[in-house]
Each structure stands twice: as structure tokens, then as C-alpha cells.
Chain A
Amino acid sequence: MEEVRLMKGNEAIAHAAIRYGCDGYFGYPITPQSEVLETLEALMPWETTGMTVLQAESEVAAINMVYGGAATGKAVMTSSSSPGVSLKQEGISYIAASSLPALILNVMRGGPGLGTIQPSQADYFQAVKGGGHGDYHMIVLAPSTVQEMADFVGLGFDLAFKYRNPVLILADGIVGQMMEKVVLPPARPRRTQQQIEEQCPWAATGRHGRAHRNVVTSLELDPAKMELNNERFQRTYAAIEASEVRFAEHYTEDAEYLIVAFGSVARICLKAIEEARGQGVKVGLLRPITLWPFPKAEIDRLSKQVKGILTVELNAGQMIEDVRLASQCRVPVAHFGRMGGIVPNPGEVLTALFNHFPEAKQ
């Protein structure tokens, strides 16, 4: 039985990366995620597993180091917070276009611009609708606990290698900064070069007498060939949408009203729902764990059961668009959110629910 520890979400990410057998981390400090780099530097994994930890000269440099490492089949990652993740978007688009596995962590803070350092979820659009240019998707995981921060490192890398696609862990300042109990995943050694070459026959690892060279590039000047690339990407996205949708539900069985929220906000909503249930109001919670692929079918199903849906987000209303699409506007879908780094408490969520759906109280 692994030891139960108490640590911050950001620290859990660092521990989990080493234990997964991550080959390289490249980052640049920014609040509220600097503990990822700090913890890695303190743990000095280059002396144990041989993992590279490098503070790059900028976020742009870091994501391009990830691009290079991923091209050789290594398990590589970077982390940042909102303004820094904006800087990484070009590199992420190139990684997606080159069909490379990579793990990116965004511990969101208030924006736009440099904004605040307090928690936010205002990068939802950036995360699930592209961010960078071109028709691409990342698999987007939204952790709500420190345990999920730890678990999603391994899950993220596994999905990235399974689909040869970048994976984003979209966290927020709360889950990055809070301490909770966590059981870390078991430690395993990094893959050997031979294992990497077996697992990643596409990787740029040297020609080894092969007839062809492995070339990793996002450039294809022939439109007909580029369209074939695009079709291949779309087949990958369809496969991901068919098999990788993840969500959690609480109290939905008999729910007459539904709250949809992700990340740490879902937990604030859960407490509000428990209070509502205490007053005899039948509210349920759907927490998307993958924001892309989005749990469309489940929202569609629940929208036939409930009388109204409230999305709660730390932004002006972003995920609500996907909830409206998935529910086909069968029932009213309302939004409650705070911005700028302000986090609502459970009482505010409950008030918002009753403001939007006063009939729920009867």
C-alpha cells in the first residue's frame, strides 16, 4: 500500500511525472504553477531516473523543446499558467500537426493579458477550440482534486502516446495551490531507447539501416497531401471522441435540475447541491473530466430528464456553449460565473440556481 501524503496539486504533478518515467520537463516559472518546476528541481530526478528538468529561457523555448523531445519518441512535458500557455500555442499547433505525443499543464489564472494570479477557468475556449491555428484538437483533462492532478499525468501520457496527440491538463489556481491527501502512482523506470524505438516506429531516432528516413514535420506544401493529413487527424479525433469521453455524476438519478461544472468549481457546486438537497430541491451535478472530447451524449440524455441546466464557470460563460449544443436547447441553460480571479462560494452558487430557476424552490 502506497503512503498517503499531503501535498499541493502542483507538487503532485511533479512527483507523478518522475514516477511515470517522464523523460523531460521543460518550463518557465509563473504563478500559480511555479511549484511544478520548483518541486522537480528539489527532487533532482536527473540523479535517479535520469529525467531531464530544464528551466528554459521562455515559454516559447520550452514548448519547442517539448516538440523536439516528442519527435524522438520521448515522454516530455511542459507546464505554465494562462499568459504562458498563450505563448505556447504556436508550438502546440505544430506538435498536433506533427502527430506527436506531449503533455501540457495549464494552471489557469485570471485574464485576459497578464490579469491576476488568482484562479480562473477563462482558458476553456483556448483549450478545447484550438488555441493555436488550424483544425486540431488536444485531449483536455480537467482535474478537480490533488489526486486527479497526480493521476492525470499518467493518464495524459498514456493517451498522448496511444493517439499520438498532445494532451492538456486544464487545472486552475485552486487545485494547483491547495493541499490534499494523495496516493502517488507506483514508480516505474523510464523506457529504454530500445523500448522507445519499438513503441514509436515513427520517431526520429536515427535511420538504423532502414530504407526510409523518419521525418517529423508539420509542413506539407501539396494541398492534396495536406488534405489527406487533415483527414487522418480527423479520423484520430473521431476515434478519441468515440472512446475517451470521461465524466463524473453526483445525484443525477432523480435530478430535476442539473449543474454542469468542471475542475475545482464542480466541488464548490457539489456542496451547494448538498445544501439544496437538504432543502428538498432535486439538483444533480455533471462534471466533465474530459473537456474535449466533451460528454455530449450524457448531457443530451440528462437534458431530456431535467427542467433546467446551470453551468458554473470561472469565466463569462464558455463551456455553456457546448452544453447548449449538446442539450440542443431542449431546456433553459443558464450561466453563473465569477471572473478576474474571484471564486464563488457554495452559497453564491445556490443563490444563482434559485435566481435562474425560482420554480426549483417550490
Chain B
Amino acid sequence: MKEEIIIAGFGGQGVLSMGKILAYAGLMNDLEVTWMPSYGPEQRGGTANVTVILSDTPISSPVLDTYDTAVILNQQSLDKFESKVKPGGTLLYDPSGIHHKPTRTDIHVVEVPAMDAMLEMNNSKTYNMILLGALLAKRSVVPLEAVLRGLKKTLPERHHHLLPLNEQALRKGMSLV
């Protein structure tokens, strides 16, 4: 098993932390893991992306040219990464703010109305967990249980009261696709 994933969007959307939680879930599940951020001068509004590789064999390159799965959160990232999904791969994207929808027919394109779901939950902090839930539903690379353990590991203890909310968001995301 090897899953090469790109998560891309605006800085501030939780792209890097979504990747981090996925990486920790991989660690909890005894997988090999790399988490490679675009660490440019990202800030709220700029673009940000992270490559996460989960594998049951040693990982060579942390830098990739094609991906099994892309999670896309804005138009710039869709323009950049749609062509880089491997044939037969999966592209999940949030249609809010997307003017030109994906056109490829040789990959699984999955619409995830995460922004709407977030508004429904009335908490902007849940956005990336909704998307992660959708990813898990489509690509069961790690069990939800491992993600919850990963979440616990990455969240500082003073934020542990937010764990139930995050689990709710993950389950919401899973139900969307």
C-alpha cells in the first residue's frame, strides 16, 4: 500500500495541519510517513500545499510529480494540480470559489461541499476536518480511529476539549461523499 497525496489551498484554510493529522494517523497505523510542506512565505490568503505520503514500504522521494489523490481547496490549486493526478486517481475539491470545474474524465472527481457543511456546523475551524473526513470516505488509507488518535497527538492538551467537535466534523465530511 502506498498513497501519494497533495493537499492544496489558501494559507489559513488548515492545509498544513490537515496533512499533519493525516501523517500522525499514518504513524499511529505503523505506516511509513513523509510530510513535506511548501514552506514559502505563506500567510492567510497566499497559496499553501503539503505532500503527504503514506506507505507500508520505505519512502524514497518526498517530492513528487504525480499524485494518487489530490485535495483541492481553491482555483489556483485546481489549475496547478488537476493534471498531476495519476490516471485512475482521485481528485476531491470544494466547489465553493471554483469557477472552472475539473474536466478530466480518467480520474475520480469528487465534489465535497465542505464550505457549506462548515457554515452548517457554524464553526470555521472545522473546515479542514470536514475535508479530511471526505478524503477518508473515498480513500480509506487510514482508519478513522487512527485519525482521532493522530488528532489527539497533534492538538495541545489545552485544546483537547475540541476533540469531539473535530470528530463530528470528520464524520460530517464522511457523510458528504
Contact = CB atoms under 8 A, between A and B. Distances in A.
Interface of A: 4-6, 31-32, 117-118, 173-174, 177-181, 264, 267-268, 270-272, 274, 343-348
B43 to A, nearest CB: 13
B61 A267 contact: yes
B61 A6 contact: no
Given A32-B39, A118-B39, A179-B33, 11 more contacts: A173-B39, A178-B35, A179-B20, A179-B23, A180-B35, A181-B27, A267-B60, A267-B61, A271-B61, A274-B60, A346-B64
A348 B60 CA distance: 15
Nearest to B153: A6
A345 B63 contact: yes
A173 B27 CA distance: 23
B63 A181 contact: no
B27 A267 contact: no
Given A179-B20, A271-B60, A346 B35 contact: no
A345 B40 contact: no
Given A4-B27, A173-B39, A178-B35, A347 B65 contact: yes
B65 A264 contact: no
A180 B33 contact: yes
Which 3 A-B pairs rank lowest in CB-CB distance, beginning with the nearest?
A: A345-B65, A271-B61, A179-B35
Contacts of B61: 267-268, 270-272, 345-346
B41 A6 contact: no
B34 A178 contact: yes
B24 interface: yes
B36 interface: yes
B94 interface: no
Contacts of B39: 31-32, 117-118, 173, 177
B111 interface: no
23 contacts: A4-B27, A6-B23, A6-B24, A6-B33, A32-B39, A117-B39, A117-B40, A173-B39, A174-B62, A178-B36, A179-B33, A180-B33, A181-B32, A264-B62, A267-B60, A272-B61, A274-B60, A346-B61, A346-B64, A346-B65, A347-B65, A347-B66, A348-B65
A180 B52 CA distance: 10
A181 B25 CA distance: 12
B86 to A, nearest CB: 12
Contacts of A348: 65
Contacts of A264: 62-63
